[in-house]
Amino acid sequence: MAIVRAQMADVENLFRSYVAQHRAGEDPSEQDLLSQVDGTDRDELAAMIDAYLERAPRRAWDAEAFEASGSAPFVHSVARSLEGSAGLWPTLLPRLRSRARVARKDLVAELADRLGVSGRRDKVESYYHQMEQGLLPAEGVSDSVLEALGAIVGESRDALRRAGQSLGTAGGPPGADAAVFARTATGPVPDEDVAEVAAAASSMPADEEWDDVDRLFRGG
Partner 1 sequence: MAGSERVAAETVAEVAAAADLSRTRTRRRRDLSGSPHTGRPSPKLTESNFRERKEHELATLPDEQLISYIQKARAAGRTETMTLALSVLVFGYLDIVTRRVALKVPPADVDDVAHEAILSAIRSAFAGESIGEFRAWLNRITLRRIADYHRKLEGKPKTVPLLSGDEEDDAGWGEVPTTDFEGVRVDAERAIETAYEGLSEAHQRIVDAYVFADRPASEVASAEGTSEDNVHQVASRFRRRVRELLEDGDS
Applying the rule CB under 8 A, the residues between 151 and 190 that interact with partner 1 are 165-172, 183-184, 186-188
**Is the alpha carbon torsion for 97, 101, 107, 113 positive or negative?**
negative
Please report whether residue 13 would count as binding partner 1 according to CB under 8 A: no
**Cα angle vertex 31, ends 37, 47, to 5°?**
65
Among residue numbers 65 through 94, which ones bind partner 1 (CB under 8 A)? Answer: 65-66, 69, 71-72, 74-76, 78-79, 82-83, 87-88, 91-92, 94
Query: Other CB atoms closer than 10 Å to residue 170's CB: what's the count?
Result: 19
Backbone φ, ψ for residue 71 (5° rounding): -85, -15
Distance in Å, CB of 53 to partner 1, minimum: 5
Among 2, 26, 32, 101, binds partner 1 (CB under 8 A): 101
Among 3, 55, 207, 208, binds partner 1 (CB under 8 A): 55
Stretch that binds partner 1, among 50-58, 138-146, 196-204, 208-216 (CB under 8 A): 50-58
Give the Å distances, CA to CA, from 132 to 80, 116, 164, 171, 180. 9, 21, 10, 18, 14
Stretch that binds partner 1, among 5-13, 122-130, 136-144, 200-208 (CB under 8 A): 5-13
CA distance 79 to 98: 20
CA distance 112 to 122: 9
Please report whether residue 46 would count as binding partner 1 according to CB under 8 A: yes
Residue whose CB is less far from partner 1, 128 or 214: 128
